[in-house]
Amino acid sequence: MFLLAGYSGAGKSTLLLNALNKNLPVFGEEYHEIFQTTTIPAKFPDWRLSAQERLNQGSWFNEDHVSFLANTDSLPNHIVLHFDLIQILHERYFIQSCPDELFALLPRTFNSFANSAHNEMFFRHIVSNPFFRKFDRIIVNTLYTPWETNARQWKKRQSAMIIKERGLRPLLFDFQQPRTDIHQSIYGSWLNSIEKLDPYLSLVSESKDKRLFIKEQSAFMANA
């Protein structure tokens, strides 16, 4: 499984499309040939497509589909998972089944996302889903972009044309608020949590801490 995670508006969809269409080794040279065999749905990203429709059309999914995929017996050998680190912290992922200590923290507000300890608890619960154990290897990459870049890129998506064509999901917070503390907390909590995916985990990295590979998609593409 190939998993690309990042903040809302970081450019994950754009990077994945460019990685496939322009032959960019976003998941590293070792696994690049396998990544190129994955099949993109006819419309990507279009959040109106159900998990079953995605499965019928290809092997690219997003965080909304984890529960469906966990209960699906027949999966593609290799899938791509688009992981929005803000969307995945929304309470809809936990309201039906979560430990008491997490349930006590619901409902979560955007301000609560500044609490790194709580974020990490939720992320660790997510990656403990049996779905992730269906794969012999999970190749994880994290796209980091500064808060200002996230806000600018999201603003570009607000036109009626993009919403109509790509089925843009509702925004869970206001990008006008300069909440760099939340931005940093989300990324830090995620990077600490994905270690729970061991021994299945392979981290694609060129950074000192061996966890972050892509700093910004524009920089990566310029160097490719």
pLDDT (tens digit, 9 = 90+) per residue, 45-87? 666 778 898 899 889 998 888 888 989 989 999 999 999 898 8
pLDDT computed for residue 129 by the predictor? 86
Spell out a b/e string for 119-155, using b for 16 or more CB atoms within 10 Å of the CB, else e: bbbbbbbbbeeebbebbeebbbbbbbbebebbbebbe
80 touches 38 (CB < 8 A): yes
- Asked whether the predicted pLDDT for residue 130 surpasses 50, the reply is yes
In the chain, pLDDT over 70 holds for what percent of residues?
Answer: 75
Cα gap 137→58, rounded to integer Å: 19
Supply the pLDDT for residue 207.
40
**How many angstroms separate the CA atoms of 50 and 65, rounded?**
8
**63 or 207, greater pLDDT:** 63
Instruction: Give the per-residue pLDDT at 48.
Output: 72
Tens of pLDDT, residues 31-50: 899 999 999 887 776 667 78
* pLDDT at site 220: 41
Where is pLDDT greater, at 49 or 102?
A: 102
pLDDT class of 115 with cuts at 50, 70, 90: very high
Q: What was the pLDDT predicted at 158? A: 62
101 confidence band (pLDDT: 50, 70, 90): confident
Q: What is the per-residue pLDDT for 118?
A: 93
Dihedral, CA of residue 186, residue 190, residue 193 and residue 194, to nearest 10: 170
Q: ω into residue 199 within 30 of 0, thus cis? A: yes
pTM more than 0.85: no
Q: For residue 212, what pLDDT band results from cuts at 50, 70 and 90?
A: very low
Average pLDDT, the chain: 78
> What's residue 59's pLDDT?
92
Looking at per-residue confidence, does 165 or 15 come out higher?
15
pLDDT mean over 126-148: 87
